[in-house]
Structure 1
Amino acid sequence: MTTRDDLRARLKAAIAAPGHPSSDYDLNPDVVLPAGRRLRAAAVLVPVALEERGARLYLTKRSSRLKHHPGQVAFPGGKVDEGDANATAAALREAHEEIGLRPENVEVLGTLPSHETVTSFQMTPILGLLRDGFEPVPEPGEVQEVFSVPLDLVVTPSRFSVERRRWRGNWRRYYTVPHGPYYIWGATARILRALADRMSG
């Protein structure tokens, strides 16, 4: 049976494993990025909990009323504001605002490689292990639903597939790792695939 110490050790080993930044363009090598592009800093929390049913990863389904990425599955997070001390502070603040996760309930284990999005954000994933039980409180203006998936589902590379769709007139390929009614894809799936590669190595 997995203990909290076992899970912490696995996650810390993944953080320490070799890796490099990723982007929404990884599976689309023909894309030419503009020189001198300016990226805005963002941070997301990758919250893992050890529950009676095993290790779980919490995600959100964004509100369908949002202007950007409506209805998509995402990590809690957002832009790094001027008042944030760093990316970790931003991720914890956003998680508290979006899903009611108190910062003191998160043991921050470290950061994963940054991820560049097609919307010009340089996103830093913060890996955290929850200390106690957690009852999500979705912020109705931003979050339609908070749900969890088995951690093993999203840290097993063979569970991922590559799909494609038309975006701005061109085909764009991306990772996906669906679970039940939840379609996990795009930047969220790419960050999880990077974590999966580190945990399976």
Structure 2
Amino acid sequence: MSLVESLRDALAGRHDAAPELIGGDVLEGEEPGAGPITPAAVLVAIVDRPDPTVILTLRPETMRKHPGQVSFPGGRIDPGDDGPVAAALREAEEEIGLPPAAVELIGLADRYRTITGFEVTPVVGLVAPDLPLRPNPHEVADLFEAPLRHLLDPAHHVMRSAMWRGRERHYYEIDYEGRRIWGATAAMIVNLTRRLEPAA
């Protein structure tokens, strides 16, 4: 069974499995539950290559939220969106020019609540290789692909800690060719890995 097929099976049965999932203790801002929760969604776009990759973006340093961080395309779920899938596809089209029709839905991963007040649903989808993507310079400083196998390998999930507002915070970090993937994005990747474990 391929890695993508294993991921599809793991997400199809995600309510039956109960791995230990990551919560919201990442170095981002306020405590979980300190304010209203904003529903959001991201697209985990897996590129259908012989060795599948994942599309990731680098947020510009000028962004008000999470500047300079590596992230999945995505954002808040607007009132006009028909749920997290529609929101993730809309955001991916706005941010990187990925047509919604080009995405084959694999499944929904576990929601992740950030300590900046977002409850994020990762929408996992499959896309063809070498699509003519057009990053929006206002939202994306750079666009790159990282191997799915590398991201899901627990050996690359490094736990870090830092002092933030008087207390020690712990967060995951994944390095790929000098790219620092951390915080909520890394935590959602770790959660995907943990979903795969029962199906391995």
TM-score calculated relative to the size of structure 1: 0.87
Query: 2:6 corresponds to which residue?
Result: 10
Separation in structure 2 between the aligned mates of residue 87 and residue 34 of structure 1, nearest angstrom:
21
Runs of 4+ more than 6 Å apart:
none
Give the drift of 1:132. 5.3
The 8 Å contact of residues 19 and 113 in structure 1, kept in 2 or not, is answered as no
| Alpha carbons 2:32, 2:113 under 8 Å: kept | no
Closer/same/farther in 2, CA of residues 169 and 32 from structure 1, 3 Å limit: same
Q: State the one-letter code of the partner of 1:184.
A: I
Residues 167 and 129 (structure 1 numbering): CA distance in 2 closer, same or farther, change over 3 Å? same
Contiguous gaps of at least 5 residues in structure 1: none
- Alpha-carbon RMSD across the aligned residues, in angstroms, is 2.2
Q: Given the superposition, is the C-alpha separation of residues 62 and 19 from structure 1 closer, same or farther in structure 2, using an over 3 Å criterion?
A: farther
Alignment pair present for 1:105 and 2:121: no
Report SS of the residue matched to 2:150: helix
Instruction: Answer whether contact 1:61 1:73 (CA < 8 A) is retained.
Output: yes
Unaligned residue ranges in structure 2 (runs of 5+)? none
Alignment of 1:161-200 (within 5 A): 161-200=158-197
3-state SS, counterpart of residue 78 of structure 1: strand
Instruction: Name the amino acid aligned to 1:40.
Output: T
Shift of 1:14: 2.2
Tell me, in whole angstroms, the C-alpha distance in 2 between the residues paired with 1:59 and 1:32: 26
Number of residue pairs matched by the alignment: 192
> Which of 127, 137, 155 is the aligned partner of 2:124?
127
RCO higher in 1 or 2 (8 Å CA, sep ≥ 6)? 2
Amino acid at match of 2:191: A
Taking only the aligned residue pairs, the percentage that are identical comes to 36
Contact 1:63–1:142 (8 Å) recurs in 2: yes
> Does the 8 Å contact 1:109/1:128 carry over to 2?
yes
Give the distance between the partners of 2:186 and 2:3, measured in 1 at CA. 21
